[in-house]
Homo-oligomer: A and B are copies of this chain.
Amino acid sequence: MKVFILITGSEFVNGLKLEKNSLFIAREAFERGLEVNGIGIVGDNLYQIQFFIKMALDKSDIVIVSGGLGGTTDDITREAIQEAIGVHLIFDKEWLEKIKSTLKQQGREITDEIKKMAKLPYGSKKIENPVGKAVGFIKVLDDVKKAIVAVPGVPSEMKPMVKKAFDLLGFKEKKKKSHIFRTFGIPELEVDELLKDIDGIILNSSPKGVDIFVTDKEPFFLENKVKVIRERIGKYIYTEDNREMEEVVGKILKEKGLTLSTAESSTGGLIVSRLINVPGSSSYVMSGIVSYSNETKTKILGVKEETLKKYGAVSEQVAKEMVEGVRKLSKTDIAVSDTGIAGPTGATEEKPLGLHYIGYSDGNKTEVHKVIFKGQRNDVRLFVSQYALNLIRINLR
């Protein structure tokens, strides 16, 4: 079964906004064993949307349209579908009543614009909107055995409605035919070399590491591939559940009942901010000190002035005093620190752009790692934060 995804919105074709809905829909289709054979993005233009719907129906078995179901004049997906497949629109009375009663509770009257959001093509199956007013639908074209699905563009509405649509179309169970490994600490070329005899692998590289996506139509073969990959590069894998490093580290800290503090210079709060992204982190993240100035390093963290003078702020010794200082100050089990040159300026002959010292301390020991990562400022900072989080993971595992 082939799926075509059509996204509507002038903001996307004018280059004003990054389109993200197609990623979710494509992933959902893929996991349910369907093949996405194309994605189209068009502006809010009746003719263009119609053209794409016809083309997509011609190419694919299921066409999913996201966007253009709201109550403004720009919302013309219903009309475009009406024209493209030649079927008239009717009100879903039940949904209309629901909108009316919601409005009544808010002391508002219904308008023609709002009414529009309860319309769907004759003979289609309604997909209820769990969040907003715009109703979605599935229209099956019996003669050609194809289906067109329409859902709003607002992500919080689109996501559950797309899932519901796939369920209603009979693609209920997720056919797990893929597996994700996320790794850190091994270059993409090396992963490629180590896994070159395995087919159906896609590598994705970023400052956060190399993600390995493995697919196979047969669960048995997939399981075999997964085992082989685990054997070859197991120690670099930080998750097989597609989680972020901060979630992995958070889980370990929570399970072991350990507390954490950070002393960040180059990453400027990125490490602690990533950790605090995780719900429940207040039970293990105690404090984070961003010591961008030398004064903060000495006054708050207790880095010695002579250390700064002798070795400079970007040095192994300062990373060590920072991590030990914050651990003591915050009275936590674990601490990490970093100091470095993220760029674009600040490099010297001895201390190149991208040079960083990353510290880890847990009471039994303190270790400082020296790394050089070349790249744009924010990529460098992301890499360093990932490195520090990974250091915690490795030390506690």
Contacts and interface: CB of A to CB of B under 8 A. Distances in A.
Interface stretch (A95-103, A232-240, A275-283): A275-283
Given A11-B202, A289-B290, A27 B36 contact: no
A344 B37 contact: no
Contacts of A287: 289-293, 296, 300
B279 A273 contact: no
Interface string A70-99: 000000000000000000000000000000
A198 interface: no
Q: What band does the interface of chain A fall in when counting residues whose beta carbon is under 8 Å from B?
A: 35 or more
B23 A36 contact: no
Nearest to A293: B286
Contact of A26 (B14, B48, B264, B299): B14
A289 B289 contact: yes
Chain B CB count within 10 A is highest, among A17, A288, A346, A377, for: A288
Interface stretch (A51-59, A347-355, A356-364): A51-59
Contacts of A13: 26, 36-39
A207 interface: no
Contact of A270 (B213, B273, B289): B273
A20 B295 CA distance: 41
B38 A38 contact: no
B295 A331 contact: yes
A63 interface: no
A355 B26 CA distance: 36
A24 interface: yes
Given A13-B37, A269-B269, 11 more contacts: A13-B39, A38-B52, A39-B41, A268-B285, A279-B343, A279-B345, A282-B292, A285-B293, A288-B289, A288-B292, A295-B330
Closest 5 CB pairs of A and B: A15-B27, A268-B276, A269-B269, A288-B290, A15-B26
6 contacts: A16-B204, A51-B59, A269-B290, A288-B289, A289-B300, A293-B330
